[in-house]
Amino acid sequence: MTHTTPNEPTGGEGSPPRPPDRGSAVPLAVVATGQEVEFVCARAGRGLQHRLAEMGIRPGVRFTVLGRDHPGPLIISLKNARFVLGRGMVHRIMVRPTSGRTNH
* 11-26 confidence digits (pLDDT tens): 445 544 444 455 689 9
What is the rounded average pLDDT of the residues 27-40? 94
CA quadruple 55, 60, 62, 67: dihedral, nearest 10:
70
Distance CA 42, CA 39 (A): 8
Distance CA 69, CA 62 (A): 21
Distance CA 95, CA 41 (A): 7
Look up the CATH number of domain 26-101. 2.30.30.90
Is 0.85 surpassed by the pTM of this model?
no
* 53-92 confidence digits (pLDDT tens): 999 999 999 999 999 877 779 999 999 999 999 988 999 9
What is the rounded average pLDDT of the residues 23-47? 92
Distance CA 72, CA 21 (A): 29
What is the pLDDT at residue 9?
Answer: 44
Domain segments of the chain as ranges: 26-101
